Chains A and B, each alone.
Chain A
Amino acid sequence: MLDFDKIVRQEQEGLRRFLLSLCLGNQVIADDLAQEAFIKAYLSQHTFVGRSKVSTWLYRISYNTFIDYTRKNTLEKVDIEKANKVEYDEPQHYESLYRALNMIKEPRRAIIVLFYLEDQSIKEIAKITGIKDGTIKYHLCEGRKELKVFLENEDK
């Protein structure tokens, strides 16, 4: 049996950040999805046999929860200024992050977020998203191109 309270404390920040980035800054939806993911994990903890890291297993559940949500609902683009007014430590910093992620389509966005924000390896990303290693490398390469264009435009 997993020490679930400890896991929630350890993993919540990364999972919330991952979902917040996928939800383009909509913290209400992101936190709802994060809670749902933790509940799903709690209910299915008997299925976790330790073949992967607990964090990888939780990211996978979170990603599937997000995918299920987007199938049923249209993800509303949030008013970035409004979204940043509360809850974050330094609100003004995140506007450009969500604008950058907004131009990257799924599943590339998830791959970029996992790789750059959550420091996950390509193998871990493959386990989380269910996409092959080679395809992940392709998405990372294409994502970098898009991000470079974005950053260059930002500097202008």
Chain B
Amino acid sequence: MKTNKDIQQFFENNKPHFTDSNEFVAKVNGRISQYDQYQVLLAQLKASQKHNKKITIAFCGLSVLYMVLFVLLIAQSSLEAKIMELFSDIPIIMNSHNLYIFLLSAITAGLFFASSVIYIRNRD
């Protein structure tokens, strides 16, 4: 008849020991260091995304400011004549009204294109 002591003895005699402890510790430390590197990269990525967002906002703000200033400047007749001269080869620009429409359309299209490019680049 087996006793509790026999069970204790059985487990003591069959207790597994490892000969590759250093390798195991190295593996765990390796994975921890990989995780730490990943965290650093993630933080850098987040910082970069934040930076990109700031650039996008600054760019949009500047574009709007530029557009407003440009339209105001065009409104000045002295500049208008010069610009009319500059675009005189384009048949559609026959008067200042068409010039404003053309420039506003060009600026709007440019802003839309630039914003789309920035949005697509920052999407991920």
Taking Cβ atoms with an 8 Å cutoff, the residues of A that contact B are 4-5, 8-9, 12-13, 16-17, 20-21, 31, 34-35, 38-39, 42-43, 87-89, 93-94, 96-97, 100, 116-117, 144, 147-148, 151-152
Contacts and interface: CB of A to CB of B under 8 A. Distances in A.
B16 interface: yes
- Name the interface size band of chain B: 20 to 34
B95 interface: no
Interface string B7-26: 11011011111111100110
A12 B28 CA distance: 10
B102 interface: no
A4 to B, nearest CB: 7
B31 interface: yes
- Chain A binding site: helix, strand, loop or mixed by DSSP? helix
B76 interface: no
Given A100-B10, A117-B11, A12 B21 contact: yes
A87 B25 contact: no
A39 B35 contact: yes
Contacts of B15: 17, 117
Given A9-B25, A87-B20, A152-B2, A93 B7 contact: no
The 5 closest A-B pairs by CB, nearest first: A97-B14, A116-B11, A148-B2, A151-B2, A38-B28
A89 B32 contact: no
Given A12-B24, A39-B35, A17 B16 contact: yes
Nearest to B29: A5
Given A5-B29, A35-B27, A35-B28, A88 B7 contact: no
Nearest to A42: B32
B4 interface: yes
Interface string B31-50: 11001000000000000000
Contact of A93 (B14, B21, B25, B29): B14
A97 B15 CA distance: 8
